[in-house]
Structure 1
Amino acid sequence: MAAPTIAIIGGGPCGLTLARLLECKGIEYVVYEREESESENSNRVGGSLDLHPETGQRALQEGGLFDEFKRYARYDDPVFAIADKLGKRLVELGHGRDAPEIDRSALRHILLDAIPKDQIKWGHALASVTAGEDNRPVLRFANGAVLSGFKLVVGADGAWSKVRSRITQVTPQYTGKSFLVSKIAHENPLYETTASKAGAGSSLSIGSGKYIMTQRQGNGSYRVSFGLQVPENLFRNGTGNLQDAETTRRLLLSDFYADWSEEHKDLIRHATDLCAWPLYTLCTEDMGWESVPGMTLAGDAAHLSFTGGDGVNLAMTDSLKLASKIAEHGTKSLDQAVQEYEADMFPRGIARIAESKVMEDVMHSEDPQAFIQLMSS
C-alpha cells in the first residue's frame, strides 16, 4: 500500500493542528506519535494555554473547531497579577483581553476528536531519519518500523526533533534557567487559601533573580512553577532529588526562597507532583537554513525559545501557514510550498526567539519593575 502523501512527526498541538487542517483540505497525511495511546499521561498534556485571535484562535477557526474551543475556553482567566517577593501585588493586567485560557489536555482532546482515528499511529517514537535511494526521507522508529515513500515529512516533534537533524545541524542550548512545576489540588490543605488569594488567571511574583507563577487550571486546581537560575543538571544529579519531595522543598526554602514571604513559602511547603523542566532555546542565527526537499519543521522543532506564552500560538500559525501553502501549490509541488512556507516562517521564528530572550531576562530580574514595564508596553 502506498504511503500517505505527508507524514507528521509529533502529536502535540502543532502536529495535530496541521493534521486537522490537511483533513479539511482533503490532503493525505498520517501522524506518528511517540506516546502509546491517547490516554497516556504525558508532561506535555499538563498546563494551560492562552490562544490569541490572529494565531491560535484563527487556526481553530480555519479547522472548523472554534465553537468546540469555546466550550472549554476560560475567558475570565487572561487576568495576570504581578507581585514582588514579599507578596505585595503591584498591578493586575489582562482584564477583557481576547486571549482565553484552555487546558492543553482539552485542546488536544478537541484536535484528536477532529481527526480520524486511523490517521494517528500511536507508539511510534522516531529514532532517526535517513535518506533513501531517491534522496527522500526514510523514517526509523523505536518500535522497529521503517517507513518511506512520503512526499513530505513535517517535524513537529519538539525541542529535540529528530527531523531537524536532517535539515540543519543546530541544536538547542540551555538557557541557564529551569523551572520546577508543581500543583495545588483541591484536596491540598493550602487549596482554599491559594484559591482565595490567586483567584482567576495567573499571578507572577518576581524577586532576587527568580520567580513563582501560580496559574488556575480548568478543573480549578493551581499549577505552581518555580523559576530558577541553576546548573543544567541540578535536578538530575541528586542535588535536587525530585524523588524526595521533602529534600527538594528544603532546598527551595533554604537556598532559593529564604527571603521570600511566608505566603510564597507555603506554596513550596505544600507543593506536590514536583517535576523539573530545564529550559532550552535556539538562537536567532539558527533560523534560515537551506530548504531540504521532502522535509520541513514546525513549532518548537523549528524555533524553540524560552517559554513565554506565545509558543503554542506560533506553532499553530506554522501549521496554518504550511497547510495553506500545500493547498495553494498542490501535492505535486510540495517542495515549492515548503520553500515559501519557510521563507515566511523564518522571520516569525527570529522575532519570537528575540522576544523570548527579553522575557527570559525580565522574569529573572531582581524585582518586578522591568517585567511590568515590558507587559505595559
Structure 2
Amino acid sequence: MTAPTIAIIGGGPCGLTLARLLECKGIDYVVYERDESENSNRAGGSLDIHPETGQHALREGGLFDEFKRYARYDDTVFTLADNFGKRLVKVGQGRDAPEIDRSDLRKILLDSIPKDKIKWGHTLTSATVGEDNLPVLQFANGNLLSGFKLVVGADGAWSKVRNVITQATPQYSGTSYLESKIGLENPLYETIASNAGAGMFLSMGPEKLIVTQRQGDGSYRNYFGLQVPEDFFRNGTVDLQDVEATRRLLLSDYYADWSDEHKDLIRHATDLRPWALYTLSTEDLGWKSVPGFTLIGDAAHLAIPNGEGVNLAMTDSFKLASKIAEHGIENFDQAVQEYEADMFPRGIATIADGKGMGEVMFSGDSKAFLELMGL
C-alpha cells in the first residue's frame, strides 16, 4: 500500500488545523496521534483565538461558523488583582478574542477531516532517514512506517521529529503551575463565580501568582504559579495524591500572606495536576532545512505561555499548507524552506515575549505588568 504523501505527527489543534487545510486543498496526508481515541484526551483549559491568526486559519478552513457556535465572547474579560485581593484593573470587554475550550476546538477540527485520515494509538518513538532518503517513523505500538515525502512534527514540547532537524532541547523556565478545578458542585463555586466572574482573573504576588479562568461548562480552573525546582512535583516533596497535605503545604509555605479569598481557592482545590513550564531558546531557531521534515507549533518554538501559543501554531499550519499548495507536492523542499524562513522570526519573537512576560508576572510588580500589556 502506498504511504500518504504527508505524515502529521500530533492531533492537537496545530496538527489538526494543518490536516483540515490540506484536506481543503486536496493534498494527501495522514495524522498520527498518541491518544487511543478521540475521547481519550479531555485535558486542557480554555484558549483565546485571535482574529489575525487563529481565527484566520479557521476561516481558511471553512470552520469559522462552527467555531462561533462554541466561542465565548463574554469571556474576553481580564481582571488583575494583587495578592491581598485588591482589584487593580478590569479590561477586555468586547475584545475580538473569544475563548473556546481546547476540547471543543479539537472536536471542530476532528469533525472536519475524514475519520480514516487519523490513526489513533500511535506514539512516535523515533524519526529517522531511510536508505532511500525518505522519512522512517517508529511507533511505540510496533509500527514501522516509511514512504512519506514529508513528515510534519506537530508533536509539542518534547517532539521526536525535532531530533531529526536540530539538537535543541527545551529548558526548564524555573516556574511551575499546579492546576486545580472548582466544579459547579464545589461548595466554593457560587463564591468564585461571584468574585472572579467571566474570563480570566490574574492575581500577582512576589514570586507567586494565581490564574483563575472560567471554562465553557461554567466551572473554573485555577493555576497556582510557583518558582520551584524542576522536579518539585516529582521528588516526593509534594504528593499530589494527598490533596489535604498539598493544600496545607501551599497555605503554609507559599500563600500564607495572601488574602482569604485566594486561600479559599486552595482549601477547595480538586483535580490537582502539575504543569512545569519549559521553553526553547531564541538561538534554537534558524536551523538548516532537512529534506523530508519540518516543525510547527510548540515543536518548533516552545515558549512560556504569553497568550499567543495556539494562535501562532495555527498560523504555522496555515503558512505551511499555503506554501505546499503554492509549490506542489513535487517541490516540498522549496515549500519547507520558505515556510521555515517565514516562521523563524515569529518563533523567536514569541520565545522572547514569553520569557519577558514570565519575568514580569512573577516579579509581583503589577505596574510593570500593566505597562507590558499596554494598559
Normalized against structure 1, the TM-score is what? Answer: 0.98
> Given that residues 7 and 153 in structure 1 are in contact (C-alpha distance below 8 angstroms), is that contact kept between their aligned partners in structure 2?
yes
Alignment partner, residue 298 of structure 1: 296
Alignment partner, residue 144 of structure 1: 142
User: C-alpha offsets along residues 248-276 of structure 1, whole Å, 9 cap, x if unaligned?
Assistant: 11111011100000000000000000000
Alignment map for 1:180-219 (pairs within 5 Å): 180-219=178-217
Alignment partner, residue 155 of structure 1: 153
Ranges of 4+ aligned residues in structure 1 off by more than 2 Å: none
Alignment partner, residue 356 of structure 1: 354
Question: Take 1:154 and 1:105, find their aligned partners in 2: how far apart are those partners?
Answer: 22
> Given that residues 140 and 147 in structure 1 are in contact (C-alpha distance below 8 angstroms), is that contact kept between their aligned partners in structure 2?
yes
Give SS of 2:65's match.
helix
**Equivalent position amino acid for 1:60 in 2:** L
Question: Take 1:313 and 1:180, find their aligned partners in 2: how far apart are those partners?
Answer: 24
- What RMSD over aligned residues (CA atoms) do the two structures have, in Å? 0.7
Question: Percent same amino acid among aligned pairs?
Answer: 76
Alignment partner, residue 19 of structure 1: 19
CA drift of 1:207 comes to: 0.5
Question: Take 1:209 and 1:371, find their aligned partners in 2: how far apart are those partners?
Answer: 14
Question: Take 2:241 and 2:365, find their aligned partners in 1: how far apart are those partners?
Answer: 31
Give SS of 2:283's match.
helix
Alignment map for 1:100-111 (pairs within 5 Å): 100-111=98-109
Residue number among 41, 45, 48 corresponding to 1:47 in the alignment: 45
**Equivalent position amino acid for 1:11 in 2:** G
**Alignment pair present for 1:31 and 2:31:** yes
Question: Take 2:195 and 2:147, find their aligned partners in 1: how far apart are those partners?
Answer: 56
Alignment partner, residue 326 of structure 2: 328
Give SS of 2:275's match.
strand
Give SS of 1:376's match.
coil
- Aligned residue pairs, count: 375
CA drift of 1:366 comes to: 2.6
**Equivalent position amino acid for 1:93 in 2:** V
Question: Take 1:102 and 1:314, find their aligned partners in 2: how far apart are those partners?
Answer: 16
> Given that residues 129 and 137 in structure 1 are in contact (C-alpha distance below 8 angstroms), is that contact kept between their aligned partners in structure 2?
yes
Alignment partner, residue 58 of structure 2: 60
Structure 1 unaligned residues grouped into runs of 5+? none
User: C-alpha offsets along residues 118-150 of structure 1, whole Å, 9 cap, x if unaligned?
Assistant: 000000000101110012210000000000000
Question: Take 1:376 and 1:340, find their aligned partners in 2: how far apart are those partners?
Answer: 33
**Alignment pair present for 1:9 and 2:12:** no
Question: Take 2:91 and 2:370, find their aligned partners in 1: how far apart are those partners?
Answer: 9
CA drift of 1:376 comes to: 2.3
Question: Take 1:191 and 1:308, find their aligned partners in 2: how far apart are those partners?
Answer: 27
Residue number among 332, 339, 342 corresponding to 2:340 in the alignment: 342
CA drift of 1:42 comes to: 4.5
> Given that residues 84 and 367 in structure 1 are in contact (C-alpha distance below 8 angstroms), is that contact kept between their aligned partners in structure 2?
no
Question: Take 1:252 and 1:31, find their aligned partners in 2: how far apart are those partners?
Answer: 41
> Given that residues 285 and 301 in structure 2 are in contact (C-alpha distance below 8 angstroms), is that contact kept between their aligned partners in structure 1?
yes
Structure 2 unaligned residues grouped into runs of 5+? none
CA drift of 1:309 comes to: 1.7
